[in-house]
Structure 1
Amino acid sequence: MLNLKVTTVGLSAGLILSKEAMAFLKVRKGDTLYLTEAPDGSYRLTPYNPEFERQMSLAKEIMHEDRDILRALAK
């Protein structure tokens, strides 16, 4: 388990990530993190954009359903 410290950043609050936490999350300074709620009510801090994942799932569905049309268009 890693501890994160909430600190003041200007008029806002921010989290301090140790080198260990940044390595664990595979992030660098300037990257964006997303705080999401899991189905069980817990929270996740992740560098992966859940909206992008949803859009890619929809795209895969469409590509699978319309694969014949896409093949014809690729010719």
Structure 2
Amino acid sequence: MVELKIVKVGNSLGVRLPREVVTRLHVEDGDRLILTESPEGGYRLTPYDPEFEAQMKVAEEGMRRYRNTLKALAE
């Protein structure tokens, strides 16, 4: 477990990532990260992956298109 401290950055808030976290994520200054909610109720921080983003756009479009069908299947 790594404890992060929230710091003021201009008019925003941010966190500083320790070197060990940056190394493990294989990221560097200027890279993008994705923060997603986990099923357990927490959050997960991962490096940005353009291929995954494209796949999610396709999935979201499919869920929008078949919204009624998915709702019926969930019942």
Fold match by TM threshold 0.5: yes
Which blocks of at least 5 consecutive residues in structure 2 are unaligned?
Answer: 59-75
- Higher Cα radius of gyration: 1
* Residue 72 (structure 1) aligns with: none
* Residue 39 (structure 1) aligns with: 39
Residue 56 (1) aligns with residue 55 (2)? yes
Q: 2:34 & 2:27 partners in 1: Cα distance? A: 12
Q: Which runs of 4+ in 1 moved over 2 A?
A: 54-58
Q: What do the CA deviations read for 1:14-66 (whole angstroms, capped 9, x no partner)?
A: 111111111111110111111101222221011134x74263375xxxxxxxx
Which blocks of at least 5 consecutive residues in structure 1 are unaligned?
Answer: 59-75
Q: 2:51 & 2:40 partners in 1: Cα distance? A: 22
SS at match of 2:55: helix
Q: How much is the aligned-residue C-alpha RMSD, in angstroms?
A: 2.5
Q: How is 1:21-36 mapped onto 2 (pairs within 5 angstroms)?
A: 21-36=21-36
SS at match of 1:45: strand
Amino-acid identity (%): 44
Number of positions where the alignment pairs a residue of Structure 1 with one of Structure 2: 58
Q: 1:12 & 1:54 partners in 2: Cα distance? A: 25
How high is the TM-score relative to the length of structure 2? 0.61
* Residue 11 (structure 1) aligns with: 11
